[in-house]
Amino acid sequence: MYPSPGRGHLMSLVELGQSLLRHHPSLSVTVLISSPPHLLPSITPYISSVSSATPSIAFRHLPSVSLPPSLSSAPTAFSDDPAMYF
């Protein structure tokens, strides 16, 4: 599962994963995390809590990637606005 960056999206996707597991306990769920570094302190306790309570849900952090100069100057819209993540 791959949520959009942000705590609310992550929590909703984890709830979906938990619902899948209730109906199909033999499954396992992997959530890919691509949150910007400034968001990690706010989601790390939540990830730890879910990992402890629901071992069938695993979290994998995706590494940051550097864009080539031709793409790094492209507009990012709201992606750098911290208010978008809460």
Give the span between the Cα atoms of 86 and 82, in whole angstroms.
Answer: 7
Residue 79 lies in a domain: no
Q: Which two tokens stand for residue 61?
A: 């952090």
Task: Identify the residue whose tokens are 């911290």.
Answer: 82
- Model pLDDT, residue 8: 80
Q: Number of structural domains, the chain?
A: 1
Residue 20 lies in a domain: yes
Residue 69 lies in a domain: no
Residue 68 lies in a domain: no
- Model pLDDT, residue 83: 55
Which tens digit of pLDDT belongs to each residue from 9-52?
Answer: 889 999 999 999 999 999 999 999 886 766 778 888 999 999 99
Residue 47 lies in a domain: yes
* 7: containing domain: 1-62
Residue 25 lies in a domain: yes
Residue 1 lies in a domain: yes
Instruction: Give, in degrees to the nearest 5, the angle at Cα 79 between 41 and 14.
Output: 50
> In terms of Cα–Cα distance, which of 68, 53, 4 is closest to 33?
4
